[in-house]
Structure 1
């Protein structure tokens, strides 16, 4: 029974080439491009990142349009997970929170008539 054994050099060369190919694919994505363009620092809290903690650094789209990915990175900023979550929470609150408040205020105003009993009050005199 012949078993083909790959030499350690062949196996390691295959691993290295696969790692390089995966790195090239990552670098083609907007995340890879942003990590090349900007220093690995959160744009809000200025926390610094290294290779071990780089997964906690996200690419934030400044105009909130994830399809807007210019090559110069003008719509991107690097934010840590916490600042990125905070930014999106504030955006959603601004976008939907004020509309809810305004509609409930409008309903309260429409249902309230400050002069409803005015005629009765005038007739009592």
Structure 2
């Protein structure tokens, strides 16, 4: 019996591959509105650092901070999020940058 020849498969076009990659990226990447909305429901409309309370009129000043710094780590229970006002959020990131500089971990 002669050896079997592998069947040739038709490879998808570059356009089809591009569409597939874009679809996978969209499916696996939560939107800012999605996790922000979830965090606001879970943690409320209050800054976790300074305690400032927000109303609908100024809610855009309340942001979601990722505790571990990974914006792709978005567990549905909200354990990696804390709601911070823009001022506290800026302060949080400034402290991290300063600590890295003082420790010599970043130039």
8 Å contact kept, 1:60–1:76: yes
TM-score by length of 2: 0.65
1:98 aligns with 2:99: no
Q: 1:73 & 1:86 partners in 2: Cα distance? A: 21
Of Structure 1 and Structure 2, which has the larger fraction of its residues in helix?
1
Following superposition, the deviation at residue 48 of structure 1 comes to 0.3
Aligned length: 77
- Structural mapping, 1:43-122, within 5 Å: 43-99=48-104
What is the match of residue 15 of structure 2? none
Consecutive unaligned residues of structure 1, counting only runs of 5 or more, are 1-25, 104-125
What is the match of residue 38 of structure 2? 33
Give deviations 1:24-58, integer Å, cap 9, x for gaps: xx896110110111111100110000100100000
8 Å contact kept, 1:27–1:33: no
TM-score by length of 1: 0.56
What is the match of residue 25 of structure 2? none
Consecutive unaligned residues of structure 2, counting only runs of 5 or more, are 1-30
Name which structure has the greater RCO, CA cutoff 8 Å, separation 6+: 2
Q: 1:35 & 1:42 partners in 2: Cα distance? A: 10
- Structural mapping, 1:17-32, within 5 Å: 29-32=34-37
Larger Rg: 1
Q: 1:100 & 1:34 partners in 2: Cα distance? A: 31
Following superposition, the deviation at residue 93 of structure 1 comes to 1.4
